[in-house]
Amino acid sequence: MLLNSSTKRLYLSLCNVANYSSSKKYYDIIITGGGMVGCAMACKLAKEPALRGMSILLLEGGPNRNQYDFNAKKNTFDNSYSNRVSAVNKSTIQLLQSVGAWQIISDLGLCNVVKEMRIWNSGGGRSGGVNNMLTFNNDDDLAYIVENDIILGALYKQINEEKSITVNYNSRVNQCNLPDSHKDLATVKVANGETSFETSLLIGSDGYGSKVRSAINGQQYISWEYGQRAVVATLHIQSDEDDIYKGHVAWQKFAQLGPLAVLPLDNKTCSLVWTTSYEEANRLAELNDNEFIDALNDGLSEEKESNNSSLLLADDAARIVSKVLNKYCQLNNNDNQNRKIKSTPPVVIGVIKDSRASFPLGFGHACQYVGQRVALVGDAAHRIHPLAGQGVNLGFNDVIELSDQLNHSVLAGADIGDLNALLNYETAAQRHNIPIMLGVDAIQKIYGSSNNFVPPAITTLIRNVGLSFCQSASIIKKLLSDKASGLPV
């Protein structure tokens, strides 16, 4: 009886093997989603010495965009900036360097370094009040602003040189079956193709609506919408010749409706990320370019005058706190005190044609990043508010952690889809990501929204005191800017 059942099992498994080989194509690793994070994942894995020779399939939903023409990009000036940019931190740059993509970007000068960040918030009650500008500047560079298309282009250039990577375009994942045990393989079906693929390790980098994520058994996905949209555009600003950091300053204002960021692309060109309510975003979308510029300058510089006495009181209280703090910490930030006078908001003088767009914002956290033969990276695992520019950096950090773990476990003779290695990745990635996600969400909640539960006077007080406190306490500033640069604090 026992013999009988085991023969039967053997027969069945042989049948399975036969089936697999006939209708399904096998790859060691399949990555779904050829965005920045998915491409970086493919490149990084292909270059990992321990994984050399493993076959990698990258499934991209979109069409094959002709190879990015870097030289053309170099020769045409401004006007050609795209409206989607990323602020990449040091650890991301190290990753891009390790796959050879950063060299392409920096050799052609397609990145712009941020040397200083200037953050301020709406002054509460009084008009014209940029009374409290927090400045960050490090001896090292804070971040680089690069267009998403350029990062993608550089990564695809590297991918095309790797023989082990196959890229299938127009291949949106339709269905994926994950195994219950490590003895079976994961299978992926593509929407418009008859073929399905089999793999030892499926990596989901298919964005915040991830199909792979929802296929993980027992997955819980915590998410909410912020009720805000990010309005993006590429801007011309008036360059300030006296500014020593000219062209390398990132501005961020915490306005009443949400944070407003202006990121430098070159001396006179900036990229805008303006978080605001749905209604306001719709209103802005209907304005013509000149009206939009006016609205933007209004948003950047002045505040609507308010007669609300409690707001004025909160503002005064914040001023007193900031004076007291400044007095005690004067030794630390003499420089900033002196330069404070020059810290005025940028003046927008033009917006590049057709560069305006907007998209909705939300928060998302997958409780499980991994499962049997599956791992999530990037927005598939986590989605955050763009106010700190950390979203893509978290994604790239996932790439670093996952490739590290896979490298270690494969060198120790484990299967590429070994669950222990994936669980190690989950622990490492979540330990890094969750504090940042919660921090960004908290900043969003304090600075970026008008909620009805907390009286505006109190939020104004917290906002102003919070900024003064950060400005004065150099240690916190150092910590924040180090954390933002992605290197161990």
Does 413 engage in binding with other proteins (CB under 8 A)? yes
Does 108 engage in binding with other proteins (CB under 8 A)? no
Does 410 engage in binding with other proteins (CB under 8 A)? yes
The count of other CB atoms within 10 Å of the CB of residue 290 is 10
- Pick one of 4, 5, 22, 49: the residue that binds other proteins (CB under 8 A): 49
Residue count (the chain): 489
Does 12 engage in binding with other proteins (CB under 8 A)? no
If phi > 0 it is left, if psi is from -120 to 50 it is alpha, else beta; for residue 3 that is alpha
- Kindly tell me which of 162 and 316 has the beta carbon lying closer to other proteins: 162
**Part in contact with other proteins (CB under 8 A); list of ranges 93-101, 150-158, 333-341, 413-421:** 413-421
> Closest separation between CB of residue 419 and other proteins, Å?
5
The answer to whether 120 touches 424, Cβ cutoff 8 Å, is no
- Kindly tell me which of 93 and 428 has the beta carbon lying closer to other proteins: 428
CA quadruple 15, 19, 21, 24: dihedral sign: negative
Rounded Cα distance, 41 and 205, in Å: 9
* DSSP string across 214-270: HHSTT--EEEEEEEEEEEEEEEEE---TT-TTTT-EEEEEEETTEEEEEEESSSSEE
> Closest separation between CB of residue 97 and other proteins, Å?
20
Rounded Cα distance, 203 and 208, in Å: 14
The answer to whether 144 touches 32, Cβ cutoff 8 Å, is no
Rounded Cα distance, 127 and 156, in Å: 49
- Pick one of 238, 282, 420, 450: the residue that binds other proteins (CB under 8 A): 420
> Closest separation between CB of residue 402 and other proteins, Å?
16
Between the alpha carbon of residue 324 and those of residues 342, 391, 479, the distances in Å are 22, 36, 22
Rounded Cα distance, 251 and 344, in Å: 10
Does 51 engage in binding with other proteins (CB under 8 A)? yes
- Pick one of 19, 21, 52, 335: the residue that binds other proteins (CB under 8 A): 52
- Pick one of 163, 183, 304, 327: the residue that binds other proteins (CB under 8 A): 183
Does 130 engage in binding with other proteins (CB under 8 A)? no
Instruction: Measure the CA dihedral 127/128/131/137, to 10°.
Output: 140
Q: Give the interface size with other proteins as a residue count (CB under 8 A).
A: 22
- Kindly tell me which of 89 and 424 has the beta carbon lying closer to other proteins: 424
Rounded Cα distance, 191 and 178, in Å: 17
> Closest separation between CB of residue 6 and other proteins, Å?
8
**Rg of the chain (C-alpha set):** 25
**Part in contact with other proteins (CB under 8 A); list of ranges 47-55, 162-170, 375-383, 467-475:** 47-55
**Part in contact with other proteins (CB under 8 A); list of ranges 46-54, 136-144, 164-172, 429-437:** 46-54
Rounded Cα distance, 363 and 377, in Å: 15
> Closest separation between CB of residue 432 and other proteins, Å?
16
Rounded Cα distance, 79 and 74, in Å: 12
**Part in contact with other proteins (CB under 8 A); list of ranges 90-98, 202-210, 301-309, 415-423:** 415-423
Does 419 engage in binding with other proteins (CB under 8 A)? yes
- Kindly tell me which of 181 and 288 has the beta carbon lying closer to other proteins: 181
Does 53 engage in binding with other proteins (CB under 8 A)? yes
- Kindly tell me which of 5 and 307 has the beta carbon lying closer to other proteins: 5
Q: Which of 398, 457, 476, 463 has the alpha carbon at shortest distance from 433?
A: 398
Does 411 engage in binding with other proteins (CB under 8 A)? yes
> Closest separation between CB of residue 195 and other proteins, Å?
21
User: Restricting to residues 370-409, which ones interact with other proteins according to CB under 8 A?
Assistant: 408-409
Instruction: At 6, list the tokens.
Output: 């085991």
Does 13 engage in binding with other proteins (CB under 8 A)? yes
- Kindly tell me which of 2 and 475 has the beta carbon lying closer to other proteins: 2
User: Restricting to residues 234-273, which ones interact with other proteins according to CB under 8 A?
Assistant: none
- Pick one of 295, 414, 443, 446: the residue that binds other proteins (CB under 8 A): 414
| Residue keyed to tokens 């948003």 | 299
Rounded Cα distance, 149 and 317, in Å: 46
Does 182 engage in binding with other proteins (CB under 8 A)? yes
The 161-180 contact track toward other proteins, x by CB under 8 A, reads: --------------------
Instruction: At 337, list the tokens.
Output: 């005190």
> Closest separation between CB of residue 2 and other proteins, Å?
10
Does 412 engage in binding with other proteins (CB under 8 A)? yes
Map 292-342 to HEC letters.
Answer: HHHHHHHHHHCCCCCCCHHHHHHHHHHHHHHHHHHHHCCCCCHHHHHHHHH
**Part in contact with other proteins (CB under 8 A); list of ranges 150-158, 335-343, 412-420, 457-465:** 412-420
> Closest separation between CB of residue 30 and other proteins, Å?
17
Does 8 engage in binding with other proteins (CB under 8 A)? no
The count of other CB atoms within 10 Å of the CB of residue 261 is 24
> Closest separation between CB of residue 47 and other proteins, Å?
13
Tell me which residues touch other proteins (CB under 8 A): 6, 13, 49-53, 181-183, 408-415, 418-420, 427
